[in-house]
């Protein structure tokens, strides 16, 4: 597993925790709905055909999520993405840099 995929997994989990905390489950951890999406996202990342050359999801030419799951993840990314700069600035910066890289 590449460092790129590990960073993507970490970023997805951070975004889901931030979203869930502010929308569903403020006590900590993930609600069952968000945990299901996290499990789905991590499974998709583990099966990514690009391996070490994985682009960020927004730039990926293959949309491996089912349409409903993709819709939910986009909603989470739109909410959590801007907040990541304040809550997890290093992870947000790395994600931005990964998105700019040409593979």
What is the pLDDT averaged over residues 3-29?
A: 86
Q: What is the pLDDT of residues 22-51, one digit of tens each?
A: 888 777 788 999 999 999 999 999 998 887
pLDDT given at position 34: 92
- C-alpha 36/C-alpha 99 separation (Å) is 26
What is the pLDDT averaged over residues 91-96?
A: 77
pLDDT given at position 13: 92
* Total-model pTM: 0.80
Q: Are 12 and 74 spatial neighbours (Cβ–Cβ below 8 Å)?
A: no
Distance of CA 81 to the CA centre of its chain: 9
Is the pLDDT reported for residue 2 higher than 70? no
pLDDT given at position 3: 83
């Amino acid at each position: 597993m590449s460092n790129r995929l590990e960073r993507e997994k970490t970023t997805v989990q951070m975004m889901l925790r931030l979203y869930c905390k502010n929308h569903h489950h403020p006590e900590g951890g993930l609600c069952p709905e968000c945990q299901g999406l996290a499990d789905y996202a991590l499974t998709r990342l583990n099966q990514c055909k690009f391996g070490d050359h994985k682009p960020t999801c927004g730039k990926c030419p293959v949309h491996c999520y089912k349409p409903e799951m993709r819709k939910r993840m986009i909603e989470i990314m739109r909410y959590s993405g801007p907040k990541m700069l304040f809550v997890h600035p290093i992870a947000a910066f790395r994600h931005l840099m990964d998105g700019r890289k040409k593979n």
